[in-house]
Chains A and B, each alone.
Chain A
Amino acid sequence: MADKKTIDDKTVKRVSVLSRINLTEGELGIYRTQIADILGYVSKLNELDTSKISPTSHPLKDLRNVFRKDAAKKSLTAEEALQNAPKRKDDFFSVPKIIG
């Protein structure tokens, strides 16, 4: 697990791009310090030998894939689904052009 020194501006910047969040120079410095503190705190987990432990991704026992019947039933109308749309065109959500 990484220690404090490995969290540099470049890493925080890369993560902010992946997160689709812009940071000002000031924010970058603050988040770098805070994230380093938090990662320093969580590095406590390295004290534990987990080599023979299997991971828990959720608490329910015996839960496998959950399927439903492939049957038609009532769902939202297009109008209902679009009622919160910031921008729409006919029965579609409208967004900026994706392919140049």
Chain B
Amino acid sequence: MEIKSCLKRIGAINKKLNAIIYLNSLAGKGVPIAIKDNICVKGEPTTCGSKILKDFKPPYDAYVIRKLRDADFALIGKTNMDEFAFGSSCETSCYGPTRNPWDPERIPGGSSGGSACAVAAGMVPMALGSDTGGSIRQPAALCGIVGMKPTYGRVSRYGLIAFASSLDQIGPLTGNVTDCARLLNIISGYDEMDSTSAKVPVPDFTKSLVPDIKKIRIGVPKEYFPEGGIDPDVKKAVSNSRDVLKSMGAEIVDISLPHTRYAGSCYYIIAPAEASSNLARFDGDQYGLREEADNIIDMYTGTRTKGFGEEVKRRILLGTYSLSSGYYDAYYLKAMKVRTMIKNDFMEAFKVCDSILTPTSPTPAFKIGEKSGDPLSMYLSDVFTIPANLAGIPALSVPCGFTKNNLPIGLQLLARPFAEEILLRIAYTFERNTEFHKRKPKI
């Protein structure tokens, strides 16, 4: 795709979908790509979908942006997101909600909803997102595209505005598995500016694009197919996908991840706790919004009260509570211990299988506004994606079907730390033998 045709497509449909919130002033030449609004692009607006970062233009590029520039990508613009990436629906942005190109009455998923929508609707061939509890994979699934959360440490977060530092990871959202591998090649690698960046070799991921999964052992965990807890169309599509992979020569293994049901609880302590600490920096001192006041505490409080949206305040309050004196052991420490148990479940499972297959999301895209009054029910839409972030393992979502109402469904594949290659190989083989990625929304 050329830059010109991207801009034309954006001009024609972005008003309806609200996926792109800023077009960059210097798009450059090369392969067009859109960037989630929480990744710093030098001199271009980077706001996390929040009023508190209104007009903020970073004085430096994120590591991944530098890599993209070096590889001759054209940075088309910034994509909409839930404010500070807190959400699963892309409804909490200060720029208003992004819409799902398959049904504009529905959410695109979140928090990287703008990136997923822009790729699915053909505005850009690929985009970058970030994934803290499913924020790449869930919108990829709900928009019918490929999304990957690489292993924690695989991609530097230098220049990613932090949400929950022990969970955040940058990753690709693309129209197909081949582009996912290509983009991963470019953004991966050790970076001394991110102290959690891993010093591990980066393979050529395109070498994994082989249509052969004979003898690969794929685990199916019973906990991800709860009775009544999953949409029947989703269940059917994922079961069919398992059969497709089996017919291609994979060995299907029944496995158990017994602590899966605790992952949501664990995450909703850890993520807000880390977020409350990370977001302490937004106080009006050095950048972004400032509410002037006579003393500094009133300035901080005024700025934060005015600048943060409702969901951000909720998570800061929740996180501050669980870290506060007298509650730390009962909440944060407890959650960190349960995190160990969830991680151990995976390490046990990977003794008997090479990859794990699950639905990406328990339901297809829901209606805009459907869950916005009930934060807890919104939180539960991440139940299948959260465990990979807690364990730090790589995970990928690939299109695997459609509901009766023509809404996309995603298949999630998980693997051991730094085993992205197996995910790409299985997803590529699946893609080659199915047609789901070829269907495009009529918009």
Chain A residues at the B interface, C-beta cutoff of 8 Å: 1-2, 11-12, 14-16, 18-23, 27, 31, 34-35, 37-38, 41-48, 50, 53-61, 63, 66, 68, 76, 80-81, 83-87, 93, 95-98
Contacts and interface: CB of A to CB of B under 8 A. Distances in A.
Interface stretch (B132-140, B311-319, B399-407, B429-437): B311-319
Given A12-B317, A35-B317, A60 B153 contact: yes
B313 A55 contact: no
B225 interface: no
B331 A42 contact: yes
B287 A50 contact: no
Given A48-B259, A76-B60, 4 more contacts: A45-B335, A50-B341, A76-B59, A95-B299
B334 A87 contact: no
Given A41-B265, A63-B196, A93-B286, A56 B320 contact: no
Given A1-B331, A60-B198, A84 B287 contact: yes
A20 B417 contact: no
Contacts, number: 169
16 contacts: A12-B317, A19-B304, A21-B308, A42-B266, A46-B334, A47-B262, A53-B341, A54-B340, A55-B340, A56-B339, A59-B390, A59-B417, A60-B153, A93-B285, A95-B296, A98-B295
A18 B331 contact: no
B286 A84 contact: yes
B290 A86 contact: yes
Say which size band chain B's interface belongs to. Answer: 35 or more
Contacts of A22: 301-302, 305
The interface residues of chain A, by DSSP majority, are classed as loop
Given A41-B264, A56-B336, A96-B299, A34 B375 contact: yes
B196 A60 contact: yes
A96 B198 contact: no
Nearest to B57: A84
Interface in B279-295: 283-290, 292-295
Contacts of A87: 290
Nearest to A46: B334
B12 to A, nearest CB: 34
A68 B158 CA distance: 15
B152 interface: yes
Contact of A58 (B152, B261, B284, B393): B152
